[in-house]
Amino acid sequence: MWEYAPAPESRDIANLKPNYRMFVDGKFVEGSGEPLKTINPATEEVLAEVSTASESDVDSAVKAARRAYDRVWSKMPGSERAKYIYRIARQIQERGRELAVLESLDNGKPIKESRDVDVPTAASHFFYHAGWADKLGYAGHGPDPKPLGVAGQVIPWNFPLLMAAWKIAPALACGNTVVLKPAETTPLTALVLADIIQQCDLPPGVVNIIPGAGDVGAALVGHTDVNKVAFTGSTDVGKVIQGQLAGTSKKLTLELGGKAANIVFDDAPLDQAVEGIVNGIFFNQGHVCCAGSRLLVQESIADELIEKLHARVSTLRVGDPLDKNTDVGAINSREQLTKIKELTESGEAEGATRWTSECSLPDKGFFFAPTVFSGVSQAMRIAREEIFGPVLSVLTFRTPEEAVAKANNTPYGLSAGVWTDKGSRILWMAQRLRAGVVWSNTFNRFDPTAPFGGYQESGFGREGGRTGLEAYLDV
C-alpha cells in the first residue's frame, strides 16, 4: 500500500453564509421558530445558523402555496411549467460544484459522491420531469390527469438535495405547488435550491422551503389545507404519519426504511460482486434506505468471499469528506453514531463475529470504521433492524429457495441484489423477491426514468418513471 497525498476540495466553493432563512412566497424570510445551528459532522464546527418555521409559519407557507396553486400554477399550460423546471435543472448543473461542496460540508458524505451522484442525479430528476409537464396525458393515468393541489413534503438527511429534487420535480411537473421541510441536520442545500428557484423566476409560492425539526414536519403533514403528503424517512415516523392522515382525503406516499438482502451465488464473478457489496453497504456511509445491509452468500463460497471482502474493505479511506480520495465520510450526527454503536454492540453480544477495518479515523467529528459481521443468524438484531451505517451482516444459504426465504424474512421490502452468472436465475429470483427494486450484478443504481419505492413496511408509492407521476396526480 502507498500513501495518498491529500486532495481536498476547497470549502470556499460552497459560498457558505453565516445565516440562512426560510423561503416562503418567493422571498427569504426570518422564521419565528427557534433558529437551529447546523454543523459539519466531520469537524463538529457550526457551519451556519438557520431560521426555522413555527406553526404559524407553516400556515403561511401553505397559504402561499395555495394562492400560487389557485392563481398561477394550476392554470399554467404544461408546456410553460416545463420551461420553468428545465431552468431549475440547468441551474443545478451550472452551480453543481458549489452544491456538491456544500452538501459534503453539511452532510458529511464524500465529495466524490456528492459531486458524481447527488448533484447530477438531482439535476437529471428536474430535467426528466420537466419533459413530463406537457405530456401527462401519455403517462397512462388517463387522458387529462389533474394535479392534487398543495403538496407537503418531508425529507431525510441522507441525500438532502437529491431527495428535495425527487420530491419537488414530479410535484411541479404534475401542476402541484410545494411546501418542503428539509431535515434538521441538513437544511443548507435545500435553501440554495430555493435560491436557484428564485433566480429561475418561478412564481412566488410555487415552492416554499421551511427548515425545522420533526414538529415542523408534523404541523405541515397535519395542516388541513395540504392535499398531498410525501415523506421519506424512518418506518417509525412513516407509521405515525399514515395514522395521522387516516380519515382525511390527503393522498400519501411513503419511502421508508429497508434491510436489503444482497444475494451472492457460487457462480457469481466474485471480484465484481465484492465491488458491488462494498458499494451496496458503504456508499454514503451506509446511510441509504436501500443499502445492501444483509449479505446472503452461498455457503460453498462464503469463506473465500469474506476474505476478499475484508481485504477490499481494508482499503477504504475513511476521513475528510472534502478529500477527493475519501471513500467513506462522516456519520451525519452524534445521534446516528450512537445508534450505530449500540446496534453493533448488540451484534457482538448476540454472538456474531465482528471484523472492523483498521483504517485510521480523524480525531474530531463523527466517524465509524467499516464493519463486517459474519456468523449472523436471522434472529439477531443486526439482521433485522436497519442500522443505517457502514455495517454489513453476513448470512449464508445453500439453495436458491433458502436464499429467497431468508431475503424475504423481513418486514421491509425496498430493494434486493442478486449476483450470479445465470440470467434465468436472476429472473427467477427477481420474480420471488418481495422488494420494490432488484439489482442484478449491480447495486445502488438510480435513474429518474426507473421507478423506486418499497413493498411492505418500506412504504408505498413510487418515485421516478411514468409510475412515479401517479403520486402527484388526482387519479
Partner 1 sequence: MSDRITVAKTYKLYIGGKFPRSESGRSYPVTDAKGTFLANAAQGSRKDARDAVSAARKAFAGWSGTTAYNRGQVLYRVAEVLEGRREQFIAEVATSEGVPAKKAQSLVDTAIDRWVWYAGWTDKIAAVLGSSNPVAGPYFSFSTPEPTGVVAVLAPQQSSLLGLISVIAPVIASGNTCVVITSQDRPLPAITLSEVLATSDVPGGVVNIITGRTAEIAPWLASHGDVNALDLTGAPESIRADLERSAAGTVKRVLRNKQNEDFAATPDMSRLRAYLETKTVWHPMGV
204 binds partner 1 (CB under 8 A): no
Asked whether 187 and 211 are in contact (CB, 8 A), the reply is: yes
Residue with cell 471480484: 271
Which residues inside 7-36 make contact with partner 1, applying CB under 8 A?
none
Stretch near partner 1 under the rule CB under 8 A, chosen from 122-130, 163-171, 200-208, 277-285: 122-130
> Closer to partner 1 at the Cβ: 275 or 402?
402
Distances (CA, A) of 368 to 107, 340, 416: 15, 8, 24
138 binds partner 1 (CB under 8 A): yes
> Closer to partner 1 at the Cβ: 84 or 455?
84
Q: How far is the CB of 448 from partner 1 (least distance, A)?
A: 8
Asked whether 276 and 417 are in contact (CB, 8 A), the reply is: yes
Element (H, E) at 229: strand 228-232
Cell numbers describing residue 384: 433485522
Print the binding letters for residues 36-75 with partner 1: x by CB under 8 A, - otherwise: ----------------------------------------
Stretch near partner 1 under the rule CB under 8 A, chosen from 129-137, 142-150, 250-258, 295-303: 129-137
> Closer to partner 1 at the Cβ: 58 or 268?
268
Q: Do the strands 415-419 and 437-440 form a parallel or antiparallel pair, or are they unpaired? A: parallel
Residue of 9, 184, 255, 386 marked active site: 255
Q: How far is the CB of 400 from partner 1 (least distance, A)?
A: 5
82 binds partner 1 (CB under 8 A): yes
> Closer to partner 1 at the Cβ: 63 or 129?
129
Q: What are phi and psi of 240, to 5 degrees?
A: -60, -45
Q: How far is the CB of 263 from partner 1 (least distance, A)?
A: 13
The order of strands in the sheet holding 36-39 is 19-20, 46-50, 36-39
Q: b vs e for 211-242, b when ≥16 Cβ sit within 10 Å of the residue's Cβ?
A: bbbeebbbbbbbbeebbbbbbbbebebbeebb
> Closer to partner 1 at the Cβ: 142 or 423?
423
Q: Do the strands 207-209 and 27-29 form a parallel or antiparallel pair, or are they unpaired? A: unpaired
DSSP state of 9: P
Stretch near partner 1 under the rule CB under 8 A, chosen from 28-36, 66-74, 82-90, 239-247: 82-90
Element (H, E) at 171: helix 160-173
Which residues inside 427-466 make contact with partner 1, applying CB under 8 A?
427-428, 431, 448-449, 465-466
Q: How far is the CB of 190 from partner 1 (least distance, A)?
A: 24
Residue 335 annotated to the active site: no
Q: How many helices (H) and strands (E) does the chain have?
A: 16, 18
> Closer to partner 1 at the Cβ: 132 or 231?
132
Q: How far is the CB of 95 from partner 1 (least distance, A)?
A: 17
Q: Give the span between the Cα atoms of 338 and 34, in whole angstroms.
A: 25
How much of the chain is helix, strand and coil, in % rounded to 5? 45, 15, 40
Cβ within 8 Å of residue 95, ≥6 positions away: 192, 196
The order of strands in the sheet holding 228-232 is 27-29, 22-24, 207-209, 177-181, 150-154, 228-232, 251-255, 459-460
6 binds partner 1 (CB under 8 A): no
Amino acid at residue number 123: A
Helix axes 78-94, 188-199, angle to 10 degrees: 120
398 binds partner 1 (CB under 8 A): no
Q: How far is the CB of 7 from partner 1 (least distance, A)?
A: 28
Tally of CB atoms within 10 A around 294: 27
Please pick, from the candidates 400, 402, 409, 442, the single residue that binds partner 1 as defined by CB under 8 A: 400
CA dihedral 282, 287, 289, 294 (to 10 degrees): 40
> Closer to partner 1 at the Cβ: 139 or 179?
139
Cell numbers describing residue 425: 436465475
Q: How far is the CB of 412 from partner 1 (least distance, A)?
A: 24
Stretch near partner 1 under the rule CB under 8 A, chosen from 27-35, 134-142, 194-202, 346-354: 134-142
Q: Give the span between the Cα atoms of 230 and 245, in whole angstroms.
A: 12
Please pick, from the candidates 53, 64, 130, 171, the single residue that binds partner 1 as defined by CB under 8 A: 130
Please pick, from the candidates 69, 84, 126, 132, the single residue that binds partner 1 as defined by CB under 8 A: 132
> Closer to partner 1 at the Cβ: 127 or 472?
127
83 binds partner 1 (CB under 8 A): yes
Residues classed as catalytic: 255
Which residues would be at the binding site for partner 1 (CB under 8 A)?
79, 82-83, 86, 124, 127-128, 130-135, 138-140, 400, 423-425, 427-428, 431, 448-449, 465-466
